Amino acid sequence: MTENTFVTKSVRSNPTHNPHPRRRSSLRRHPPRRVGGPSLRAPKIAPAPATAPPAEALRPILQKIGLARRERPKVLVYALGGLEEIGRNCTVFECGDDIVIVDLGLQFPEEDMHGIDYIIPNIASLRGKEKNIRGLIITHGHMDHVGGIPHLLGKLGNPPIFTAPLSAGIIRERRDEFRNAPKPNIVLVKTKMKVALGKHFVFEPFHINHNITDSYGVALQTPYGLMLHTGDFKFDYTPVNEEPADLEHIRSFGDKGVLALFSDSTDAEYPGHQISEQQVFAELEKIFASNPQGRLIFGTFASLLTRIQHLLTLSEKYGRRVLLQGRSMLMYTEIAHELGYLKYKQGIFIEEKEFNRLPDNKVTIICTGAQGEKNAQLMRIANSEHRLISLKKGDAIIFSSSVIPGNERTVQSLKDALIRHGAKIFHYKFMDIHAGGHAKQEELKLMMQLTQPRHLIPVHGNRYMLQEHAELAKSTGMKNENVFVADNGQIMEFDEKGGRLTDRYVPTDYVMVDGLGVGDVSEIVLRDRQQLAADGMFVVIATIDRRTGALVGSPDIISRGFVYLKESRELIERARNLVRRILKDTDPKSPAFEDHLKNKIRNEVGQFLYTATRRRPMVLPVLIEV
């Protein structure tokens, strides 16, 4: 398959296949009849032979039929990420020799993951199966769904990527940053297409709304019934630059019968409906109308293209020109405009050299960093480190995004820094200037009502969010045993009897990306970094005799992040004397065993420091043999 090629292979239905085993027996017991007319003509049946074959002759045939039924492969489903965190979304569907992967995202690091850029899925369970991967389906272009592709696509055997145009553009652009990554084999798809993926899967995309254009859900026809994966979704009846979600298409799946629904859980704890983008537009316009003299500085996600469209439209209306700041902001805007998903007039953007020539009331600044990222544009502005923009009284800072869970403290520190400069701050708790991209409770109920799934599997969220979604499903009448709240890596299996949550797992350990290193930072390395950040390090440098291990001279002590040497001279001297005693106990007749001496210094000095300070710095012995 080549890029920009639509797959139009027709899928011939199997007349003997029934995706709903529960309905099979009722059809046999009650053959269809015409209403108000004669019954259907019975088919002719050949007369039975005069002598039936003996049971012994039938037994091999029956055994062969039973064996074929037993060997019919089950569908196995498991998540390599996205069920215990926000991010790292990746779900694997296996049946026989066919594997389909939905999304391959990254997870941004937590605050105590020092030096880690992001985390990607662990694909150890797919090693040796690369030739069986029929396709990678990408639901939309957010980094928590596409960010792992440059690192993992080659290791997966470079399978074809099925996605929409905007997501394809983002994948290509990100691949250009990783020259060693293979060129992606992208197949563009559109809603209602049917794509055969091996012998056991048929893929059909369906249109949904999110806060990035070209988002869709995934319908997978399997040997045992239809499985739906919503991706990130909401129901917006007045979206920006796209159509509302296709409710009739989604309802058609429910009419056919849905075996399992894998549904977005990010906002499952919130009642009601997500607000519409048109409502956000009206609130943003109030800010433009009420700040005629000052600069307007918007912090938002670079991928939130619906919001960027609002800001461009309002800037044109109120005579402001726009300065974009942030590499990712420029990238997303350029790709979306080239595809026709972002509309604006020529000349709306200003170059940096023009920025200071314009009066404040003629400027709109759109930048990244609303989550308090340390190197993003808004943080640089707040810290007076931006090369172009300096805050002044009268500026309005608008946070047109929600706070990602875990970033609350960082965002609050950012607001504190901004307010010190005299700027006025607007945020989503003050006005409806942000609409989330995830369904709230009433929308989740609507998805269940439309699809009528036999099983519900909450996905995309922390455990609390998944459980809230599960309780919501039970409140609508779904049986407890039909709702699976799974862990990352926990295998679900489906067959003619339905689905079940097993106690089998595949590996889902963190694979951390640190600079150019992928997976070389282990949990042990991360724990060392956390210990260094929490308690610092204590370095003991001693020169010893190579033959006896006896101390030569006085040991040197270096402390970083533990105590200040000049103010802790007594503690340092006691530690130095302890090292002298440790090395003095060495048998002068035996050679020095460096590892033994290091371990002894590490253990005894560590215990001494903990007793004296109730802190455990990392003790690093350095022995120099002479």
Q: What residue type is 394 in one-letter code?
A: G
- Whose CA is closest to 404, among 102, 166, 143? 143
Q: Which helix (H) or strand (E) holds 458?
A: strand 453-459
Q: Other CB atoms closer than 10 Å to residue 206's CB: what's the count?
A: 20
Task: Give yes or no: 438 in active site.
Answer: yes
Question: What does the radius of gyration of the chain's CA atoms come to, in whole angstroms?
Answer: 31
Q: Which helix (H) or strand (E) holds 197?
A: strand 195-197
Provide the 3-class DSSP secondary structure of residue 405: coil
| Active-site residue (options: 103, 144, 264, 267) | 264
Q: What residue type is 87 in one-letter code?
A: G
Strands, sheet with 453-459, edge to edge from the N-terminal-most edge strand: 195-197, 201-207, 216-222, 225-229, 258-264, 453-459
Q: Other CB atoms closer than 10 Å to residue 222's CB: what's the count?
A: 21
Task: Give yes or no: 20 in active site.
Answer: no
Cβ-contact 145, 103 below 8 angstroms:
yes
| Active-site residue (options: 438, 455, 460, 469) | 438
How far the first Cα of the chain sits from its last, in Å, is 66
Q: What is the dihedral of CA 442, 283, 314, 389, to 10 degrees?
A: -110
Tokens of 268: 């499952």
- Output 403-412 pairs: Cβ under 8 A, ≥24 positions apart: 403/371, 404/86, 404/108, 404/371, 405/86, 405/462, 406/110, 406/111, 407/371, 407/372, 409/111, 410/111, 410/371, 410/372, 411/370, 411/371, 411/372
**β 363-367/90-95 pair status:** unpaired
Residue 542, beta-bridge partner list: 623
Residue whose token pair is 């930048």:
367
Provide the 3-class DSSP secondary structure of residue 556: strand
Q: Among all residues, which ones are annotated catalytic? A: 264, 438
